[in-house]
Amino acid sequence: MVKSIGEALLRRFLPSHPIPRLKLDKIPDSAKTLVVIPTLLTKEDSAPFEKLERFYLSNKDDNILFGLLFDLTDAKSETTERDAALLSFAEEKISALNETYDRRFFLAVRKRSFSRSEKKYIGSERKRGALIDLVSFIYGEDDRFSLVSGNTDFIKSAAYLVTLDADTNLYIGAVKEMVGAMLHPSNRPVIEKGAVRSGYGILQPRIALTAESACASRFSRLLCGSGGIDPYTFATYDTYQNLFAEGIFCGKGIIDIAAFHTLIPQAFSKESILSHDLLEGNLLRAGYLSDVVLTDSFPKDPLAFYQRAHRWYRGDVQALPYAFSSPYNALGKRYKNPVSKLGRYKVLDNLRRLLTPPLLLSALLFS
């Protein structure tokens, strides 16, 4: 409550300062951009490909390539009998899109690898690993994909990566707006002492809830309000951005590929972090791009809501070592934490979020 009151007072007396950006008629060749949806390939489903097509039609540009970054489902072995059929289906769908729209799409499917913590074969490190593997592929390093289909020359010359969730919606011109912000001279990332110290390696757009998911049930209507894009009723003020010129990365936004490749692949202990977005945002210095809006869905019932919250809470606990001075890196060695004091506070503030529900319940019981 103290935090909420404090932020309300700051919102009342401090103005909002949006991140500057260039107005682009066309994305330049030096800023080629990949738009990717990391997700699971579980069945022969056309929906992800149809969504990718919609994204292309609303963000047409010669220097944007749209792709699906698939993991196969967890298994007891590295391959299964269904894999070949699924790969064939996915390749046929992406080839059909490329024939229709002149090679504006790509597909990458990762190999499974054995996970000691999960005791089965999975896509290594889940979503974070998928992005790391894609960036490694761009730089011509380890190829961890069983299938890559599409314009690989474009992929390997990309400068920016827009990552979205499977239920995120991308609207007209949003990619060009994000690239224009990344290209502004004051936003270019400057890396010093193991982290971005000025500019931004990530820009996080504002995320609103879709009207459809907000109205899906009594539960969602109770928690979501009206949903949809509504700049008059949804606050665009962000305390971190306005006080410290930094935001928080929530997994959907635009990433500077070179900065990501320099800082992220070896930064975190393997198979130990479920929720990686905040930590990546701390190292790459995330900015909050409040005037670019994407929409996301909301759980329609309490079970789905708390399953999602459970994943977040697990991630909050797993991220705690990176609030201190000597966490472990991917090689299992301790190193001096380059994250700023503000970044470490963000990690601890997530612990407050985790503790709020049980403390509220305790207060109710004791009262």
**What's the helix, strand, coil split of the chain in %, to 5?**
40, 20, 40
Compute the distance between CA of residue 315 and CA of residue 353 in angstroms, rounded to an integer: 12
pLDDT, position 236: 54
Placement of tokens 């949804």 in the chain: 234
pLDDT tens figures, 232-284: 444 456 788 888 889 999 889 999 999 999 999 999 988 888 778 999 999 99
Compute the distance between CA of residue 250 and CA of residue 222 in angstroms, rounded to an integer: 23
Alpha helices in 102-238 (DSSP H): 126-138, 152-155, 174-183, 211-214, 218-224
Tokens, residue 190: 């400057």
pLDDT, position 176: 96
First to last CA, the chain: 17
pLDDT, position 233: 42
Compute the distance between CA of residue 289 and CA of residue 253 in angstroms, rounded to an integer: 9
pTM for the whole structure: 0.92
* Kind plus residue range of the DSSP H or E element containing 33: strand 33-41
Which residues lie closer than 8 Å to 318 by C-beta, 6 or more apart? 272, 273, 274, 275
Planar angle of CA 142, 146, 148, nearest 5 degrees: 85
pLDDT, position 77: 93
pLDDT, position 235: 46
pLDDT, position 234: 45
pLDDT tens figures, 196-209: 999 999 999 998 88
Instruction: Please report, in tens digits, the pLDDT of each residue of the chain (367 residues total).
Output: 676 777 777 777 777 777 999 999 999 999 999 999 999 999 999 999 999 999 999 999 999 999 999 999 999 999 999 999 999 999 999 999 999 999 999 999 999 999 888 889 998 888 889 999 999 999 998 778 999 999 999 999 999 999 999 889 999 999 999 999 999 999 999 999 999 999 999 999 998 888 888 888 888 888 876 566 554 444 456 788 888 889 999 889 999 999 999 999 999 988 888 778 999 999 999 999 988 999 888 888 889 888 888 888 888 888 999 999 899 888 889 999 999 999 999 999 888 888 888 899 999 999 9
pLDDT, position 227: 60
Q: Which amino acid is at 139?
A: Y
DSSP structure class, residue 165: -
Q: Which amino acid is at 347?
A: V
Beta strands at 105-110 and 64-72: parallel, antiparallel or unpaired: parallel
